[in-house]
Amino acid sequence: MTVYAKFGKNVYLPKDAEFYFIYNGSHQRHIVIAEPTEDNVLQSSIPGHGLQETVMVSVCLCSEGYSPVTMGSGSVTYVDNMACRLARLLVTQAHRLTAASHQTLLTPFALTVGALPALDEELVLALTHLELPLGWTVLGNSSLEVSLHRESLLHLAVRWGLAKLSQFLLCLPGGVQALALPNEEGATPLDLALRGGHSKLVEDITNFQGRRSPGFSRVQLSEDAALRYVHSSETLTLTLHHTAEHLLEADIKLFRKYFWDRAFLMKALEEQEARPEERLDMPSSAAEAEEEIKDLVSGRSSPEEEDVKCAKSVVVQLREHEDQDSLDLALSVCIVLKFF
C-alpha cells in the first residue's frame, strides 16, 4: 500500500527539508511522512480511511522557520469492498452471535463459507483500520468478564476456518477470554477447530502463549486526534476528525512531536498497550506539552490561512495501467497507487 510522488528534474527537493503526504477528506485528515527515495521521488504508505469518498492528497514541504509549502496535489478515491463491509458487520454484531451466525451473516453478501479463505487477510486489514467502539471486545460487550455459553467472534472465525482472522482476534481485548468460552452448544473455539478439521487453527490455539500485540497500536490524543503506529513497517499516521478545518501547520507540528521523539512515542504506545480499553493519558514526561497539544488539535484555519505559497506546480496523474475511475483502496488497500 504505497503512494509515490515523482517530480521533474527541474524541481529541487532540499535534503534538509521534511516532506509529508496530507490526505484531506470530508471529515478526516491523515498526515504521513514522505520518505525521499531516488530521482526526485517521495513515497509513503497509504492510510486507511473511514469513508467511501474521493480524498485530496497533497505533498507538503516543511523547512525550519517556514510555513508548509504545497508542492503538488492529486486525488484518490476510497471505495468500499466486500472485506470492509463484512468487517463492520462483525464489529456491530459481536454481542448477538449465535451458533448459526456463521451462515446467516454471509447471506447479505451472497457468500459461502468456502469463499471466505480468500478474504482472510483482507478481513484482518479491514479490522486493523476500523475504529472500534470504546469498550468493544471480541466478546461483544464493554466487560471482559467471561459469561457462560456465548458464541464469540473467535468461535465464528474458527467455524469459517480463517487462521489469520483468528490470530488477530486473539490479540484484541477479550480474545484470550474467548478461548475458554463455551458457546450455547458447549463448544470452545478449540472444540470447533477439531471438529472442522482445521489443523492450522488447532495448532495455533494449542500453542497460544497469551495476548500478543496485533501488529499495530492506536493512541487517542484527544476526541479529535489519534495516532496509529504499524510496528512491522514503523509507519506512523496522525488522523484528525474535523468538522472545521484545522491549521495544517499545527497538525504537522503535532505529528512531529511523536515522529521525531521516539522515546515519547514508545512511552505513549506502551501505556496504551497496558490499558487498551481506556483513553490514554499523555505520558508523564510530556505533561508540560499536554496543553500545547490540545491547542494544536483544536486549531482552526480559514481558507486564506491554508493557502500557503505553492512551489512549482507538479502534474500528478496515474500511470496508464492504473488509470481507472475508482481505485479499490477502501479500508484494506490491495493495489499500489503511484503518482507521476
pLDDT score of 64: 80
Question: What's the mean pLDDT when you consider all of the chain?
Answer: 76
DSSP H or E stretch at residue 235: strand 235-241
pLDDT at 210 over 80: no
pLDDT at 47 over 50: yes
Q: Which of these, 210, 237, 283, lies nearest to 30 by C-alpha position?
A: 237
User: What is the pLDDT averaged over residues 307-318?
Assistant: 30
pLDDT range class, residue 249, cuts 50, 70, 90: confident
Q: What are phi and psi of 18, to 5 degrees?
A: -110, 145
Task: Tell me how far apart the alpha carbons of residues 72 and 308 are, in angstroms, rounded to a whole number.
Answer: 12
pLDDT at 270 over 70: no
CB-facing half-sphere around the CA of 15: CA atoms within 13 A:
2
Strand partners, 205: none
- DSSP-assigned letters across all residues of 65-99: TS--EEEEEEEEEB---HHHHHHHHHHHHGGG--T
Q: Which of these, 305, 308, 216, 292, lies nearest to 257 by C-alpha position?
A: 292
**CA angle at 168 for the pair 166 and 174, rounded to the nearest 5°:** 85
Contact 62, 252 (CB under 8 A): yes
pLDDT range class, residue 278, cuts 50, 70, 90: very low
Flag the least confident range among 167-171, 198-202, 203-207, 334-338.
334-338
Contact 237, 227 (CB under 8 A): yes
Order across the sheet with 54-62: list the strands.
Answer: 69-77, 54-62, 18-24, 28-33, 235-241, 225-230, 216-220
Q: 23-40: per-residue pLDDT in tens?
A: 999 889 999 999 998 888
Flag the least confident range among 17-21, 169-173, 329-333.
329-333
pLDDT at 314 over 70: no
Instruction: Look at the chain and count its residues.
Output: 340
pLDDT score of 245: 63
Which pTM was predicted?
Answer: 0.70
How far out from the chain centre does Cα 96 lie? Answer: 25
Q: Residues 198, 203, 204, 210: what is their CA dihedral angle, to the nearest 10 degrees? A: 140
User: What is the pLDDT averaged over residues 164-179?
Assistant: 91
Flag the least confident range among 89-93, 142-146, 240-244.
142-146
127-165 per-residue burial string, b: 16 or more CB within 10 A, e: under 16: bbbbeeeeebbbbbeeebebeeebbbbbbbbbbbbbbbb
Task: Tell me how far apart the alpha carbons of residues 183 and 204 are, in angstroms, rounded to a whole number.
Answer: 20
pLDDT at 60 over 80: yes
Going by their DSSP bridges, the two strands 225-230 and 235-241 should be labelled as: antiparallel
Flag the least confident range among 86-95, 175-184, 222-231, 279-288.
279-288
